[in-house]
A and B are shown apart, each in its own frame.
Chain A
Amino acid sequence: MPRVNPIDGDYFRDERKDGDFKVIGKTVQRSDALGHVTGRTEFFEDRTFPDLAHIKIHRSAHHHARIDAVDTSEAERVPGVLRVITHRDVPSNWYVVLRLIGIEPNDEPVLAEDRVLYKGEPVVAVVADSEAAAIEGAARVRVSYTELPAVLDVEEALAEGAPIIKQAGTNYFVYEGHHARRLRFGDVEQGFAQADHIFDWRYSSAPIEHAPTETTGCIVVPQSSGRLLIHSNTQAAFFTLDNTALILDRPFSDLQVKGGTVGGGFGGKVDVMVEPLACIAAALTNRPVKFVYSRAEEMQVSSPRAAERIYIKDGVMNDGRIVARKVMLYVDAGAYSRHSPYGTTKACAHLPGPYTIPNVYADCHCVYTNRTPSSAMRGFGVTIADFALESQMDRIARALGLDPLQFRLRNAYRDGDLKAHRKVAEGTALIEVIQRAAALVGHDLPEEYRALSSTTPRGEAA
Chain B
Amino acid sequence: MKIVNLKVNGVGKTFIARPETTLLLALREQLGLTGAKRGCAQGACGSCTVLLDGDPVVSCLIPAMTVDGGDVATVEGLADGPVLSDVQQAFLDGFATQCGFCTPGMIMSAEALLDRNPSPTRDEVNEAISGNVCRCTGYEPIVSAILDAAERRRAGANL
Contact string, A1-31, partner B, CB cutoff 8 A, digits 1/0?
Answer: 1100000000000000000000000000110
B46 to chain A, nearest CB (A): 9
Instruction: List, in ascending order, chain A residues with CB within 8 A of B107's CB.
Output: 37
A407 to chain B, nearest CB (A): 30
Contact string, B56-78, partner A, CB cutoff 8 A, digits 1/0?
Answer: 00000000000000000011101
- The size of the chain A interface, using a CB distance under 8 A, is 34
Task: Find the residue from A34, A36, A45, A264 having the highest chain B CB count within 10 A.
Answer: A36
Within 8 A of B (CB), among A123-152: 132
Which stretch, B112-120, B121-129, B134-142, touches the partner chain A?
Answer: B134-142
Other-chain residue from A29, A45, A211, A266 in contact with B38 (beta carbon distance below 8 A): A45
Determine whether A48 belongs to the interface, using a CB cutoff of 8 Å to chain B.
Answer: yes
B151 to chain A, nearest CB (A): 12
**Cβ-defined contact, A264 with B135, below 8 A:** yes
Other-chain residue from B91, B99, B102 in contact with A262 (beta carbon distance below 8 A): B99
- The size of the chain B interface, using a CB distance under 8 A, is 43
Other-chain residue from B39, B92, B93, B95 in contact with A214 (beta carbon distance below 8 A): B39
Instruction: List, in ascending order, chain A residues with CB within 8 A of B95's CB.
Output: 2, 30, 33
Determine whether A300 belongs to the interface, using a CB cutoff of 8 Å to chain B.
Answer: no
Determine whether B131 belongs to the interface, using a CB cutoff of 8 Å to chain A.
Answer: no
Other-chain residue from B41, B75, B89 in contact with A39 (beta carbon distance below 8 A): B75
**Cβ-defined contact, A41 with B39, below 8 A:** no
Other-chain residue from B37, B74, B92 in contact with A263 (beta carbon distance below 8 A): B37
Within 8 A of B (CB), among A49-78: none
Instruction: List, in ascending order, chain A residues with CB within 8 A of B35's CB.
Output: 38-40
**Cβ-defined contact, B37 with A213, below 8 A:** yes
With contacts A29-B92, A213-B133 taken as known, whether A36 is within 8 angstroms of B103 at the C-beta atoms is yes
Number of A-B contacts (CB under 8 A): 103
Determine whether A447 belongs to the interface, using a CB cutoff of 8 Å to chain B.
Answer: no
Determine whether A215 belongs to the interface, using a CB cutoff of 8 Å to chain B.
Answer: yes
**Cβ-defined contact, B84 with A38, below 8 A:** yes
Instruction: List, in ascending order, chain A residues with CB within 8 A of B29's CB.
Output: 48
Which residue of chain A lies nearest to B40 when distances are taken between CB atoms in the complex? Answer: A295
Determine whether A46 belongs to the interface, using a CB cutoff of 8 Å to chain B.
Answer: yes
Within 8 A of B (CB), among A225-269: 261-266
Instruction: List, in ascending order, chain B residues with CB within 8 A of A38's CB.
Output: 35, 75-76, 78-79, 84, 88
**Cβ-defined contact, B34 with A295, below 8 A:** no
What's the dominant secondary structure at chain B's contact region?
loop
**Cβ-defined contact, A2 with B104, below 8 A:** no
Determine whether A383 belongs to the interface, using a CB cutoff of 8 Å to chain B.
Answer: no
A39 and B35 CA atoms in complex are apart in Å by 4
Determine whether A160 belongs to the interface, using a CB cutoff of 8 Å to chain B.
Answer: no
**Cβ-defined contact, A215 with B34, below 8 A:** no
Task: Find the residue from A32, A39, A45, A132 having the highest chain B CB count within 10 A.
Answer: A39
Within 8 A of B (CB), among A198-213: 210-213
A242 to chain B, nearest CB (A): 25
A40 and B32 CA atoms in complex are apart in Å by 11
A213 and B48 CA atoms in complex are apart in Å by 11
Determine whether B47 belongs to the interface, using a CB cutoff of 8 Å to chain A.
Answer: yes
Instruction: List, in ascending order, chain B residues with CB within 8 A of A294's CB.
Output: 41
**Cβ-defined contact, B41 with A295, below 8 A:** yes
Which residue of chain B lies nearest to A32 when distances are taken between CB atoms in the complex? Answer: B100
**Cβ-defined contact, A263 with B141, below 8 A:** no
Instruction: List, in ascending order, chain B residues with CB within 8 A of A35's CB.
Output: 100
Determine whether B53 belongs to the interface, using a CB cutoff of 8 Å to chain A.
Answer: no
Contact string, B83-112, partner A, CB cutoff 8 A, digits 1/0?
Answer: 010001101111101011111100100000
Determine whether A185 belongs to the interface, using a CB cutoff of 8 Å to chain B.
Answer: no
Other-chain residue from B34, B38, B41, B135 in contact with A212 (beta carbon distance below 8 A): B135
A263 and B39 CA atoms in complex are apart in Å by 9
Determine whether A94 belongs to the interface, using a CB cutoff of 8 Å to chain B.
Answer: no
B131 to chain A, nearest CB (A): 12
**Cβ-defined contact, B100 with A36, below 8 A:** yes
**Cβ-defined contact, A263 with B100, below 8 A:** yes
Q: Mind listing 27 A-B residue pairs with CB under 8 Å?
A: A29-B92, A34-B92, A35-B100, A36-B91, A37-B88, A37-B97, A37-B103, A38-B76, A41-B100, A43-B34, A45-B34, A45-B37, A48-B29, A212-B99, A213-B39, A213-B133, A214-B99, A214-B101, A215-B39, A262-B99, A263-B37, A263-B99, A264-B136, A265-B99, A266-B135, A294-B41, A295-B39
- In order of increasing CB-CB distance, the 8 nearest A-B pairs are A39-B35, A263-B101, A36-B100, A46-B34, A39-B75, A295-B40, A36-B97, A37-B88
